[in-house]
Amino acid sequence: MNDIDIRELIDSYKEIGTSTIGHLTEEGYLPDIKSLYPCTATIVGRVLTVQLTSDNTEMINQALIQAAPNDVLCIDARVLGVKACWGALRTCAAIYEKLSAVIIIGQATDSLQTQQLGFPVFAQGISAVTTFKSNQAQGTLESDIAYRFGEQATTIRSGDIAIMDNDGVFILSVDVAQQLLSGCQKKHEEDEMKFQRFLEVYRNNELDKLFNN
């Protein structure tokens, strides 16, 4: 696909919640990755991967510089254990570089400051322990990430499409995202129509009209 097609695909998925995707597939779902604070919209962007191999996190800074506007950094920080690789200052840098969001397979910190900034951060959890400047081996940029959680296994690649909201995170290849789009749009329209109909009669105290018809 060319860039124009990918932009259209990204824009289309901004109208679709992750729970709608979850009605159609489990592929690409990251079960233990959640938003640090309530996320009121669907965030969609093209993935740029970062894989840490030690407590040297300098590769994240390089990724922030290399990323294109609206990209989503996906950082594999599992090697750090309980240490966080992302906090308020890196969030400021991501805002400056016009990223859409960051996904951390690992821990984040500075949760209150991040919420104040309003930048979408998705992670496995929050930690008060962080990394220090390190001379150990740097990580890698744009390498495939093998994500596993229980029986769920997903290979995350740069160029994939990340779709995130308050219910969770999906990362889909461009081909899979394109294949699922029409089904997701149909499901979204059907469910939204039913929900808005219920909301209307509920607000008007007219539930009997709905269920007696």
pLDDT by residue (tens digit) across 122-181? 999 999 999 888 778 789 999 999 999 988 899 999 999 999 999 999 999 999 999 999
pLDDT band at 2 (very low <50, low <70, confident <90, very high): very low
In SS3 terms, 49-91 reads as EEECCCCCCHHHHHHHHHCCCCCEEEEECHHHCCCEEECHHHH
Q: Which residue has the tokens 């191999």?
A: 53
pLDDT by residue (tens digit) across 45-77? 999 999 999 999 999 999 999 999 999 999 999
Decide if 25 contacts 180 (C-beta within 8 A).
Answer: yes
Token pair recorded at residue 86: 């992302």
- Total-model pTM: 0.92
d(CA 182, CA 15): 12
Picking from 1, 8, 13, the residue whose alpha carbon sits closest to that of residue 169 is: 13
pLDDT band at 195 (very low <50, low <70, confident <90, very high): confident
d(CA 175, CA 193): 28
